[in-house]
Amino acid sequence: MKLRDVYNVLSNKETRRFYEYWTLAQEIASKKAEKLKMKLKNPYEVELKNFKSVPDMVDRLSGSNMALI
């Protein structure tokens, strides 16, 4: 948008009011969409966050072999 166009929009009372309401509506819609996005949780993502790795037997024994019976 050119500076002249911006000036024309903001200098006219009606167009400025329309622009302000339109901007406000865009902000509200964006906030609502963000809230909805935050409420939705991906079950696979939750599983990954709660995943606890179990080390292999060799890792648990500090790299040494298990005693044979």
Cα–Cα distance for residue pair 57/67, rounded to 1 Å: 12
55 contacts 48 by C-beta, under 8 angstroms = no
Over residues 54-63, the pLDDT tens digits come to 766 665 666 5
Burial class (CB in 10 A: 0-12, 13-18, 19+), 49: exposed
Over residues 16-33, the pLDDT tens digits come to 898 899 999 999 999 988
User: Chain centroid to CA 46: how far?
Assistant: 15
Higher pLDDT, 13 or 44: 13
Its pTM stands at 0.44
- pLDDT confidence of residue 11: 86
For the chain, the distance separating the N- and C-terminal CA atoms, rounded to the nearest angstrom, is 81
